[in-house]
Amino acid sequence: MSESVQAASAAPLMAELQSPVLVSGGCVIAHVTQVSELNSPWPIDPTVRLGPERTRRLDPLSQFSLLAVELARHHAGLDRPEPGQRHADEGVSVGTAFGATTTSVRYARRLVKAGPAGTNPIDFPDSIDGAPAAHISLDISLCGPSLTFTDGPASSASALLFAARTVASGRANRMHVVIGDVLDPVFLEALAAGLSPVNYIAQAVCALVVERRGLREVPAHTTELFGYSKGSRIALSEPAPEQSALVEAPFSPTPICDPSGVLDLAGAWLGAVGPMGNLVGTWQHEAGRMHVFPNGSHGFCAGSGANACLLFANPHRPSGNS
Amino acid sequence: MSKPSISVTSVGVVTALGVGADGLFRGLLAGQRAICPVAGFGVEGCRATLSAEVSCALPSDCDSRTAALSVVALSDALKGLPGLGDLRRVGLVFGSAGAGTAVLEGHLAGDVTAAALLKHYTKRRVVDELSMRFGLAGPLHAINTACSSGAVAVSIAVDWLQYGECDVAIALAADELGRFTFTGFHALRAMDPEPCRPFDRNRRGLTMGEGAGCLILERSDDAKRRGCTNHGYVRSVGLACDAHHLTAPDPEGIGPARALTRAIESGGIQPEDVGFINAHGTGTQLNDAAEVASIERALSTHAPRCPIHSVKSSIGHCMGAAGAIEAVVTLCSLEQQLVPPTAGLLDCEFSDRVTCVKDYPMRVQADYALSNSFGFGGNDAAILFAHSRTAGNAHP
């Protein structure tokens, strides 16, 4: 089934239903380099933007995550919270394929070279996959659910879906979604080992603010997170190209807003993210590239690996207009 | 619209006390302690040299010890089921704190290739391996919330079933005892050189363990239709974050109390309905004190009467797997109405504030029980289980 057919069949339902889950702001910090320039610096230095106090000793993934959340909140029209102001109804959901690689490598290298006596107690807790989520919660005092998905290339969809469901179920009013990988040279070199010097490798950190409809007057650029479907092709016979794998995958489409409005999303491929435009991307370490979605009124996105598919909609869409 | 009630239709477990929930629970009731000198790797230079390692035979055809532990726990759980049904409707959520670190260490030592590093470093690799081995073709997740990963896996599995994403949800968590994590806790000076003593006045830290725990969850109506045994209900799960410190718990226990209160409130019960608590109970000075404070906050006047216990002085702290293993223990306690003693507990520091079960198992009459799990980053999770004799479907 083609992408256009999918979108067309979904459109009438989308016009009638209203999702309780909004994406009110976002930010992508990306660093795309040729293999021949693997260790070139990122375009932004989070330690300069955030200051040394907030970034000291943190893994680069945590540093970029803090910056991305700050920029996404700004885009969503949210100020930095006052110090000491705790938010029990706000949480964080992180998706990362590799986690805090720089700190992990530093800790493991010292362990290999000098044994237990050579390790640094500061590095160990920062080496866990959940460290970026912890630092975000600490930085802006988020006391709601905090979770990290290590789902490989499907991490982005997993993190966003968890946030959406947490908001839709009323367990939080606002979730901060961070998706990203910032790789230590050890991992970059491993990734580049099978590539030509002219191939590109992308690293990125993306943040989204997901919140409950009605919480406040939201910015005009807000997008509805409309529905999703999930499935696994891992256990299904032969490896297949992504698109046919999606078609074959046993999706169980379930819109967040209304179980009666089941959408047929099987076979959906990368698509648009409504007026969010270029704000959502998925870091795909398998393919070694990053997808950025063009503008549109509604569309789909899916992680490479095809374990999840998300459907976005423009909340300002005219009724019945596909 | 009320949510469907969720039944636990089978459990599987592997710890230093062996394979199977029955053996584990018998050992806990008897106060057994499976803590020995570390055998799996060198611990020269470490102040603590004890751990609770799994000694039973593990499958030799797995990519990692963590995967092998997972295979054993899942296989154990499958023995208690009449099959899984349509595998396209079976989901797996896997929690682990340290999977993959041995591969990184091996790569830096020159023993693991770059390709193998990329392939085996991520926790998702274990999920993919299990998916292929058991033919699981429903939704898959790998999560890491440090030492609360197992409990959070249960939370996501419940969500899947209540949202209709699958018909059978497997919540599985595993962690192997590895040098990376062992030395990490050593570096943090968080380990007791002797077997750990949760809630004891003289406690000096934790003892590391390893293992895997697995809970098979199904919507109760589906489970009944399939002829599955109902071992109890997952009534609710409360999640919260301390937002206090990367490693140290909030001494006032505000975050864990929030998780406990959320579980109690969303489970539709009162604090005095909680029959007992399987505590996180690591044996560190800070954790145990903060946990007692959180229980007082959440249970108020019921706290001194509510029995609590920790299994970590018997099977060690199994890190990311702890939440799932201890969920299994909590279900066994509910089914048998017996709370195991906290092995090694001699002089409870908090005896005037909570009832720590020690020396002998305690007979209880409990319809509801909580299982606590806390992790680095201030991750707090509390699972509320209900006995199979209760209605089970009181989700608001």
Can you give the pLDDT at residue B7? 98
Q: How wide is the angle at C-alpha B61 spanned by C-alphas B168 and A111, nearest 5°?
A: 100
Percent of chain B at pLDDT above 70? 98
Say yes or no for a CB contact (<8 Å) between A134 and B137.
Answer: no
Pairs across A and B, CB distance < 8 A: 219
Residues on chain A touching B245 (C-beta within 8 angstroms): 138
Can you give the pLDDT at residue A250? 28
Closest chain B residue to A232, measured at CA: B137
> Is B147 labeled as catalytic in the residue annotation?
yes
Query: B36-37 and A146-149: which strand pairing?
Result: unpaired
Say yes or no for a CB contact (<8 Å) between B128 and A194.
Answer: no
Q: What is the spatial distance between Cα A283 and Cα A292, in angstroms, rounded to a whole number?
A: 10
Can you give the pLDDT at residue B139? 85
Can you give the pLDDT at residue A283? 27
Instruction: Tell which residue, A135, A104, A129, A99, has the closest CA to residue A119.
Output: A104
Report pLDDT digits (tens) over B51-66: 999 999 999 999 999 9
Whole-prediction pTM: 0.88
Report pLDDT digits (tens) over B313-353: 999 999 999 999 999 999 999 999 999 999 999 999 999 99
Statement: residue B357 has pLDDT above 70 = yes
CA dihedral angle for residue A313, residue A314, residue A315, residue A320, rounded to 10 degrees: -80
Residue among B231, B309, B317, B387 flagged as catalytic: B317
B395 Cβ under 8 Å from any chain A Cβ: no
Can you give the pLDDT at residue A315? 55
Residues on chain A touching B378 (C-beta within 8 angstroms): 134, 137-138, 146
| The one-letter amino acid at B249 | P
Q: Which residues of chain A fall below pLDDT 50? A: 1-15, 231-309, 318-322
Statement: residue B16 has pLDDT above 90 = yes
B37 Cβ under 8 Å from any chain A Cβ: no
Say yes or no for a CB contact (<8 Å) between B187 and A112.
Answer: no
Q: What is the spatial distance between Cα B15 and Cα B13, in angstroms, rounded to a whole number?
A: 7
Q: What is the spatial distance between Cα B335 and Cα B366, in angstroms, rounded to a whole number?
A: 9
Query: In the numeric block, which tokens belong to residue A248?
Result: 């074959």
> Which B residues in the span 317-336 are in contact with A, Cβ-Cβ below 8 Å?
none
Report pLDDT digits (tens) over B165-193: 899 999 999 999 999 999 999 999 999 99
Query: In the numeric block, which tokens belong to residue B3?
Result: 């949510």
> Is B196 labeled as catalytic in the residue annotation?
no
Task: Locate the DSSP E strands across chain B.
Answer: 6-15, 18-19, 36-37, 50-52, 90-95, 140-143, 168-175, 208-209, 211-219, 233-241, 274-278, 307-309, 338-339, 355-356, 362-363, 368-375, 379-386
Q: What is the mean pLDDT of chain B?
A: 95
Say yes or no for a CB contact (<8 Å) between A130 and B377.
Answer: yes
Say yes or no for a CB contact (<8 Å) between B241 and A130.
Answer: no
Statement: residue B34 has pLDDT above 90 = yes
Q: What is the spatial distance between Cα B237 and Cα B216, in angstroms, rounded to a whole number?
A: 16
Can you give the pLDDT at residue A230? 53
Say yes or no for a CB contact (<8 Å) between A99 and B144.
Answer: yes
Mean pLDDT of B156-173: 93
State the nearest Cα–Cα gap between B49 and chain A, in angstroms: 12
Say yes or no for a CB contact (<8 Å) between A130 and B166.
Answer: no
Instruction: Tell which residue, B48, B136, B94, B103, has the closest CA to residue B317.
Output: B48
Task: Select from B143, B166, B182 the residue whose CB has the most chain A CBs within 10 Å, as the one to mutate to test that interface.
Answer: B143
Instruction: Tell which residue, A141, A149, A142, has the closest CA to residue A165.
Output: A149
> Is B107 labeled as catalytic in the residue annotation?
no
Can you give the pLDDT at residue B228? 97
Mean pLDDT of B347-367: 97
Which residue in A134, A152, A186 is closest to B246 by CB distance? A134
Contact A125, A135 (CB under 8 A): no
Can you give the pLDDT at residue A226? 63
